[in-house]
Chains A and B, each alone.
Chain A
């Protein structure tokens, strides 16, 4: 059974700070990884995908992947109160791209 582990939090950061969210995965064969943001009572929305070792940047978001350590992270620069949400890490694998999700990290950005 593949597993994706995340610290459940809550992670609390002040407005303008860098928020760092972390995720580890168990399947060494996994190729693709996704970060989703989920506001309370809403559905998950995709914010980043990464499948190569290293960093991938998109605006204030940077995803980092280290396959040797089986570690994925998401950095949010200049955090805003609107970033307050649960962040889900997901691991793609298998022939039908079934995503395995972590339980999520609750992020709170304080004004």
Chain B
């Protein structure tokens, strides 16, 4: 089925470790996004990419880096994980008619930093 695929689904890291969250979409969408979701805080934008080759910071970019590898793939990297980065991470993409269709979300990555 077409959609947004995220890996891994679950991850436990020790403080200071690094990891990359992977996201790929097969809908030929230009724009891709990384959000984190925390209890009581809602969904907050970390980084986004309006098109292949471009990335921009969102609301909460500190501690993260991103790479738009090609049109399909948008990865999120934690260089030195901290307990404050314990969260559920969602990747999303949108088509060119966003005013009509909104985002399509991946299934999420549940990350725990101990």
Distance in angstroms from B10 CB to nearest chain A CB is: 11
Q: Count of A-B contacts with CB under 8 A? A: 60
Cα distance, A36 to B98, chains bound together (Å): 14
Distance in angstroms from B85 CB to nearest chain A CB is: 19
Tell me if A's interface is mostly helix, strand, loop or mixed. Answer: strand
Task: Please tell me the size bucket of the interface on B.
Answer: 20 to 34
The yes or no answer to B31 lying at the interface (CB within 8 A) is: yes
Query: Among B35, B41, B100, B108, which residue has its beta carbon within 8 angstroms of that of A49?
Result: B100
Cα distance, A96 to B43, chains bound together (Å): 17
The yes or no answer to B105 lying at the interface (CB within 8 A) is: yes
Residues of B within 8 A of A (CB): 31, 33, 35, 40-43, 45, 48, 50, 56, 58, 90, 94, 98-108
Q: How many residues of A contact B (CB 8 A)?
A: 24
A99 — which chain B residues lie within 8 A by C-beta? 33, 45, 102-103
Distance in angstroms from B59 CB to nearest chain A CB is: 8
